[in-house]
Amino acid sequence: MKTILSNQTVDIPDKGTCVRKAPRGRLTRFCLWFAVSVLLKGRTVIVKGPRGTLRRDFNHINVELSLLGKKHKKLRVDKWWGNRKELATVRTICSHVQNMIKGVTLGFRYKMRSVYAHFPINVVIQDNGSLVEIRNFLGEKYIRRVRMRPGVTCAVSQAQKDELILEGNDIELVSNSAALIQQATTVKNKDIRKFLDGIYVSEKGTVQQADE
């Protein structure tokens, strides 16, 4: 059975401040959100914010995208006469756009930790944070090189030992870069329940905090 119309909207934040009061009014916290502009070119969504610009193409999905209001501060996704799988794409597109808005305002940060039992894993950052060299993994002489995705930078943490910090605006590129690092340190031809050496994601968050 097909549904005549299914739609959802995404709020586009406008620059401003808000005040949060703790119980009994003793503490007051301020939060700031940034102005974001969203442009539509057919089914291509372009999101611009203080951290940069993200672009995503949804031409492979048969939906209608439109901006609502005089200031275009709402994005609506419409799907006409869709079956169950086609209706699921409506919320998927909204989630993608929300991640794009979050990326150009707060940015995404992934933290990774090196885990080893005997041989210390040595990590060297090259090419201004775009290339990661992994040495001495399980005592091997082979140098593993992982290239970061475009727009993603990697750095060694100064506060925590054996920790890498990946930052970028696109959550898919940041998470994919972290996956490439983890996959580069997989143990071959051994029991992975016993040999746990590798570099794993330890924390996922944003570069800036929403309530700063």
- Judged on CB neighbours under 10 Å (0-12, 13-18, 19+), 149 is middle
Domains of the chain: 3-105 (3.90.930.12), 108-206 (3.90.930.12)
Residues 6+ apart with CB under 8 A from 184: 134, 144, 146, 199
Q: Encoding tokens for residue 8?
A: 């959802």
pLDDT band, very low/low/confident/very high, at 33 (cuts 50, 70, 90): low
Span 181-208, pLDDT tens digits: 999 999 999 999 999 999 999 999 999 8
Please state the pTM of the whole predicted model: 0.87
Q: Are 97 and 8 in contact (CB under 8 A)?
A: no
